[in-house]
Amino acid sequence: MAFNDRLIRAVDWFIPAELQKSTAAHWRARIFVISHFLGPFSAVAALGYLYRVQASHDWIFWTLCALCGSFWTLPIALKLTRDLFRPALYSFCALTIISVFGSYFYGGVNSPFLPWFLTAQMLGFFYLSDRPMLVLSVIGASLAAFTTAYVLSGGFPERVPLGELATVGVISICAATLYSSMMAIYYASVMVAQSTLQEEIRNHLDTAAKLRVAKHEAERANEAKAIFLAKMSHQLRTPLNAIIGYSEILIEDSEASADAVDAEELRSINKAGRHLLSLVSDVLHMPKIDSDDVEVRLSPVNLDNCLEEVYATCRNLVSTNGNTFALEKHGELGTIQTDEIRLRQILINLLGNAGKFTQSGTVTLRAQREKDIDREQLVISVQDTGIGIPSDAIPKLFKNFNQAHSNSYGGTGLGLAVSQKLAQLLDGEISVESRQNRGSDFTLRLPVRAQAVAAAA
């Protein structure tokens, strides 16, 4: 394995970086380098035999030697020219000339050089496949020259008796076969790889078509869901608000008549109606947030007034389980640039959760400003002394339909997910710290001026 790695590194030294970027071009260049190092050795054997059987050696013999030897320089030419085309073109033309020139002077159609003519054509189409007319032109010109020389001279010159060319013919055929086999094996491996790639492409196209159909069906289903929720929003909220309103009227009448039993039962109806309305609101509001269909309107918000109103709104909600509800404002809160409706919604969700999971404890709404290096921000925390959250449930707490205590306390598991997404729309974030049976602390951090959200809105 180490020898193979060293051999590959040695071959790659001749290959310019431009050709190494493409796997196909890289391997074509490797085959070129290896074949032009090994190929001329077969010519050495043939030319050495001719040198021994010939009594004298003229320019014809030495021309063949020079052309065959020039193949050893082509890997260097590849590195210097940084391009495979020109060295491959020279190789094809030189091998064609050697095969035709050598065949004419050494045996004609029985020449040991003739098998290399077919090898030259394969070499030309392999490396110059993008220019087939050039390859055909060289083939045509070489055959025309060979035929013309034969006709004009009235035959082939007999420089070496045909009987003495038999041995070198066997050597030449074996070398040409080996060379052609190496090229054929590589070409076969390329075809197999290409077939595999085409099969993968077909599979990917089929998968892409199925995904497009699935996407279209999902979009249709989502559109149908949006239409359904838009219609159900009115159909569900209107009767629930009526139930809540009438129950409040009846509660006042019962309290006025001192009917404690009826008043308690009516409070249960009112509480159930409000709980159902909150569940419906969560379910109906979530698709809008997921589809970025929630409008955010930034305006100056007086935090003292906002928090007092939230405190008044949630007092009964939080104290239902016998809890104490406290509002703490540290320092001057002033005003911030945000969406007051979304801020109220977040705080009401957090306070509703705190009241639900706390029995005869304390829920505290705390607010203050903090400054860091980059910007000033508002920090609002909702702390409770309730049952807390298991540590393994905290990472999934802000995901849709996730509940840490779903079996005992009901709900949709959407309240915290809605609150977190609304906070992100306001360029903020909600974090949580909790210890089981010790309580939880949900912290909302908002910039004093939500510039990024303002730009988006």
The per-residue pLDDT for 455 is: 38
The per-residue pLDDT for 364 is: 92
Among 426, 434, 435, which residue's Cα sits nearest to residue 445? 426
Residue pair 10/140 in contact by the 8 Å Cβ criterion: no
Residue pair 71/88 in contact by the 8 Å Cβ criterion: no
Quote the DSSP letter at residue 381: E
pLDDT greater at residue 41 or residue 442 = 442
Q: What is the pLDDT of residues 250-294, one digit of tens each?
A: 878 787 777 776 777 777 677 667 656 765 666 666 555 555 556
Rounded-to-integer distance, Cα 28 and Cα 19, Å = 9
Rounded-to-integer distance, Cα 142 and Cα 370, Å = 88
The per-residue pLDDT for 157 is: 85
Q: What average pLDDT does the segment 302-323 reach? A: 85
For 240, the token pair is 């629930």
The per-residue pLDDT for 412 is: 46
Q: Where in the chain is the domain with CATH 3.30.565.10?
A: 294-456
Q: What is the pLDDT of residues 177-209, one digit of tens each?
A: 777 777 777 667 767 767 777 888 888 888 888
Q: Can you give the C-alpha Rg of the chain in angstroms?
A: 44
Neighbours of 139 (CB within 10 A): 18
Q: What is the pLDDT of residues 111-129, one digit of tens each?
A: 888 888 888 888 888 888 8
The per-residue pLDDT for 363 is: 92
- Distances in whole angstroms, Cα of residue 450 to Cα of each of 304, 378, 430: 19, 11, 15
Q: What average pLDDT does the segment 214-242 reach? A: 76
Terminal-to-terminal C-alpha distance of the chain: 62
The per-residue pLDDT for 452 is: 44
Quote the DSSP letter at residue 154: T
Burial status of residue 208 (CB atoms within 10 A of its CB: 0-12, 13-18, 19 or more): exposed
- Provide the whole-model pTM: 0.45
Rounded-to-integer distance, Cα 23 and Cα 31, Å = 12
Q: What average pLDDT does the segment 128-151 reach? A: 89
Beta strands 362-371 and 376-384: pairing type?
A: antiparallel
Judged against a pLDDT cut of 80, whether residue 232 lies above it is answered with no
The per-residue pLDDT for 107 is: 83
Ranges 56-60, 136-140, 290-294: which has the least confidence: 290-294
Rounded-to-integer distance, Cα 314 and Cα 382, Å = 12
Percentage of the chain modeled with pLDDT above 70:
84
pLDDT bracket for residue 5 (50, 70, 90): confident
pLDDT greater at residue 148 or residue 228 = 148
Mean residue pLDDT across the chain: 80
CATH class for the region spanning 294-456 = alpha beta
The per-residue pLDDT for 327 is: 92
Residues 18, 24, 27, 32, CA torsion sign: negative
Neighbours of 258 (CB within 10 A): 8
Q: What average pLDDT does the segment 210-237 reach? A: 78
Give the relative orientation of helices 23-53 and 2-12 as an angle to the nearest 10 degrees: 90
Rounded-to-integer distance, Cα 185 and Cα 197, Å = 18
pLDDT bracket for residue 28 (50, 70, 90): confident
Ranges 78-87, 219-228, 408-417, 435-444: which has the least confidence: 408-417
pLDDT bracket for residue 453 (50, 70, 90): very low
The per-residue pLDDT for 454 is: 41
